[in-house]
Amino acid sequence: MTTNKKKSKKPSALRRIAQAIDAAGRDADVARRRASDPAFRRGVRDDRRKTLSEFTTVKHALADRERIEKSKKKT
């Protein structure tokens, strides 16, 4: 007795690699378009500053910068 059910075949390894490369290319295109968005750039900048401000060396550098600016204002 034969059945007419089709077996769902897994795509070949080459096909899966090609699909992954295609998806990566599409993601890269979206990322390039998104990176030029001013709101996105502001968010990245703010996030970067927030993360960097957690490091002790950066805190010392910012304190030094403020001290230098205050001394410049006094003169």
Q: Return the pLDDT at 7.
A: 65
**C-beta neighbour count of 6 within 10 angstroms:** 6
Report whether 19 contacts 11 (CB < 8 A): yes
Instruction: Give yes or no for a contact between 65 and 73, defined as CB atoms under 8 angstroms apart.
Output: no
Of 38 and 3, which is predicted with more confidence? 38
Higher pLDDT, 7 or 26: 26
Domain residue limits, the chain? 13-74
* 59 CB-near residues (< 8 Å, 6+ apart): 53
3-state secondary structure of 6: coil
Could you report the per-residue pLDDT of 15-63, keeping only the tens digit for each?
Answer: 999 999 999 999 999 888 888 888 888 988 899 888 887 888 888 888 8
